Structure 1
Amino acid sequence: MAEVLAETQALESTTLGIYRTATVVKGGRRFSFAALVVVGDRNGSVGIGYGKAPGVPAAIEKAQKDAKKNMKKVILKAGTLPHPVQGKFGASSVRLIPAAPGTGVIAGATVRAVLEMAGVVDCLTKSYGSNNHKNLSKAVLEGLLALRLRTDVEALRGVKLEKTAVDEILDASKKYMSEATDTAGATEKAKAPVNTVGQKKPGGKKGGRRPRRNEQEAPKAEAPAAAAPKADAPAEETKSE
């Protein structure tokens, strides 16, 4: 979960990993901790820091200070990326792909943390090679720093470029949102559903749910027929002597 560092600068921090090392000395083992932290304002500024200390809180604090010193400005467009890009650092490589509004950040924990701190709202990602937290985070940062806007490229080359696929997606989403807003304002309120339970349908049957098995009436057993009166047994005939 992101931690607010400075309300005036709107900076937030997310811890990517805690590492423990041990040094064997005469009295036993002496432990040391290291922290990897990403800091950003969710508005195009992001930095990655690494710090070591004898305790975890001190290591996180040192990493946050290091991340503030290394803050970078990245170029975004309407909450997504201007174009697809691939960043590489060490044995890790990350592919960043723009996405339509409402997609969200589809990424792992490390890549997601860096993108969210930078201010990316919609993006698709795919990582290749090593999944080491340090290399992955730096690969994402390398990819974000390589982003360029279409207007900047036009100014550098002195040519006019056509609209990119990202521009078309953003234009289509704006058009869809405006049409949905106009339609919602023009339509009337939906009427409340009519309760038809207990009312007769045209076919003669009543509406409503069917009774459950345990609610259905058991078929009435027929009353047993009255037993006929037993006939008196015939008297035994006396044998004549």
Structure 2
Amino acid sequence: MSNEIENKSQKVGFSLADEIARSGRSNYPGRGRSGGSRGGGPRRDSDLDQKVIHSRRVTRVVAGGRRFSIAVALAVGDHRGSVGLGTGKAGDTQMAMIKALRMAKKNMFKVPLTSESSIPHEVWAKFGSAKIKIMPNGGRGLMSGSSVRDLVRLAGIKDVTTKILSGSKNRLNNARATIKALRQIKSRIPLEPKT
């Protein structure tokens, strides 16, 4: 008797899953690949590009000895003005990268760009001991280094000069200072003359 129930439940489960997969739609509004109550459709993350900024092995000391894990900092961007930075830590590199990617997507924001793929004005920011200055450079291309270059390129900015003003070699702090600077960029709004 119990075998019959198991066989029937497996058949029902497979047929329902097959039907949903075959049709490409779910019968429940708001669920499934497409046709949800709010427009539906699959999430399109394929246009996002990612770059590992920093990866290192970290250690936690416990009573039984040392526990090793991997910490990863990852940047994500669409080359059209959106960029984000995330960190993740796990026992293996793959899981740490998945966590960092999830956080980076969650932290994404839009950077206002000019028509020449530059920034409208100069900005600078400080995070920890890292100081970053980002300036539009008038048609000379991307002049940058370190993790700053990766973030600026992922954001789609093609015509800036960046300068690391501090002596900090910490790639993660430089990346966080860059994100802080990019968040300060305001779109150029024409000012009305005072009367």
Q: Give the alignment's TM-score, normalised by structure 2.
A: 0.70
Distance 1:26 1:14 in 2: 36
Please tell me the residue identity of whatever aligns with 1:149: S
Q: CA deviation at 1:9?
A: 4.9
Tell whether the 8 Å contact from 1:82 to 1:147 is kept in structure 2 after alignment: yes
Pairwise mapping of residues 113-192 of structure 1 onto structure 2 (< 5 A)?
113-129=150-166, 130-151=168-189, 154=191, 158-159=192-193
Distance 2:69 2:103 in 1: 18
Which of 127, 143, 146 does residue 106 from structure 1 map onto?
143
Which of 88, 104, 107 does residue 126 from structure 2 map onto?
88
Distance 2:118 2:72 in 1: 29
Q: 1:159 to 1:136 in 2, by over 3 A?
A: farther
Higher relative contact order (CA closer than 8 Å, sequence separation 6+): 2
Report what 1:33 is aligned to: 70
Report what 1:42 is aligned to: 79
Question: Is 2:59 the counterpart of 1:22?
Answer: yes
Question: Is 2:88 the counterpart of 1:54?
Answer: no
Unmatched segments (≥5 aa) in structure 1: 1-5, 161-241
Unmatched segments (≥5 aa) in structure 2: 1-42
Q: CA deviation at 1:42?
A: 0.7
Distance 1:29 1:88 in 2: 34
Q: 1:142 to 1:25 in 2, by over 3 A?
A: closer
Distance 2:59 2:82 in 1: 35
Deviation string 1:3-28 (CA, Å, 9 cap, x unpaired) is xxx86551010000012112344554
RMSD: 1.9
Please tell me the residue identity of whatever aligns with 1:142: K
Q: Give the alignment's TM-score, normalised by structure 1.
A: 0.58
Distance 2:63 2:154 in 1: 44
Distance 2:126 2:61 in 1: 36
- SS where residue 114 of structure 1 aligns? helix
Please tell me the residue identity of whatever aligns with 1:104: G
Tell whether the 8 Å contact from 1:75 to 1:145 is kept in structure 2 after alignment: no
Greater gyration radius: 1
Report what 2:109 is aligned to: 72
Please tell me the residue identity of whatever aligns with 1:50: T
Equivalent pairs counted in the alignment come to 150
Deviation string 1:148-179 (CA, Å, 9 cap, x unpaired) is 2332x52xxx438xxxxxxxxxxxxxxxxxxx
